[in-house]
Copies of this chain bind each other. A is one copy, B any other.
Amino acid sequence: MSDSMEDQQICGHKVDDFFRKIKQFHNWAAPGLVLGGFMVDWALELIGPGVEADAVVESRHCLPDAVQIFTPCTVGNGWLKVLDWDKFALSLYDRHDRNGFRVWLDLEKAAAFPNLYNWYMRKVPKKSLPLEVLNKTILEAGKRPLSMHSIRMKDLYQRDKKGDIAVCPDCREAYPVRQGNVCRSCAGHAYYQYSERHGNENG
């Protein structure tokens, strides 16, 4: 690692601390999170300090965690919205005026970094590109494989309005009235079945 990389700061963290935070939350140093860290870093820089920014990520993979680790936006606080588009892009925008920046992996630029490009486009089997080698490439590349554009939000900037809730007549749990006469689960969408092992015990 060169001297300049040791001095490198990503999202306000030195490289070691950047990796430590990623591993702590995401459980391993996923390359998508290292690259995502640079995307968040750039978006934060573009939007500037003192702006209350909300976020959108365009993939469920890795990028939600890059935003959740390095900004105040989380899925549960509603400041981060996650699109299942499988595109490597994210946006931060001022929640008051809806202006912001979109940052994305630019394949033309990424082609200058073969490890990165081949990993992302799945042109090499995982085994032939060790994690450390790939992450070193991403770290050295920094923002160079990325592009950005200023944006104005057309959609998704709305804060969730919670509607009326009711008690589901089947399961007796609370659910949103707008979903119909019973909750999603009792309407046949349950992802689980109750098993005989345990149940109805008191908390």
Name the B residues within 8 Å of A154 (CB-CB). 190-193
Residues of A within 8 A of B (CB): 25-28, 30, 33, 38, 42, 46, 56, 58, 60-66, 68, 72, 74-78, 82-83, 85-89, 91, 99-102, 104-109, 120-122, 142-157, 160, 162, 165, 167, 172-176, 179, 183-185, 190-203
Q: A191 near B156 (CB under 8 angstroms)?
A: yes
Q: B150 near A77 (CB under 8 angstroms)?
A: no
Q: A203 near B148 (CB under 8 angstroms)?
A: yes
Name the B residues within 8 Å of A28 (CB-CB). 77
Contact of A172 among B33, B85, B108, B160 (CB under 8 A): B108
Using A76-B66, A172-B107 as known contacts, say yes or no to A193 and B26 having CB atoms under 8 A apart. no
Q: A26 near B74 (CB under 8 angstroms)?
A: yes
Once the chains are docked, how many angstroms separate the CA of A21 from the CA of B30?
23
Name the B residues within 8 Å of A76 (CB-CB). 26, 30, 33, 60-66, 68
Q: A200 near B147 (CB under 8 angstroms)?
A: yes
Name the B residues within 8 Å of A203 (CB-CB). 38, 42, 106, 109, 142-148
Query: Closest approach, in angstroms, between the C-beta of A193 and any C-beta of chain B?
Result: 5
Query: Closest approach, in angstroms, between the C-beta of A39 and any C-beta of chain B?
Result: 9
Query: Closest approach, in angstroms, between the C-beta of A192 and any C-beta of chain B?
Result: 4
Name the B residues within 8 Å of A100 (CB-CB). 192
Once the chains are docked, how many angstroms separate the CA of A64 from the CA of B165?
20
Q: A184 near B153 (CB under 8 angstroms)?
A: no
Q: B151 near A99 (CB under 8 angstroms)?
A: no
Name the B residues within 8 Å of A198 (CB-CB). 46, 101, 148-150
Once the chains are docked, how many angstroms separate the CA of A65 from the CA of B88?
23
Query: Closest approach, in angstroms, between the C-beta of A35 and any C-beta of chain B?
Result: 11
Query: Closest approach, in angstroms, between the C-beta of A147 and any C-beta of chain B?
Result: 7
7 pairs, A vs B, C-beta closer than 8 Å: A42-B203, A63-B76, A68-B74, A75-B82, A100-B192, A152-B193, A154-B192
Contact of A99 among B77, B82, B197 (CB under 8 A): B197
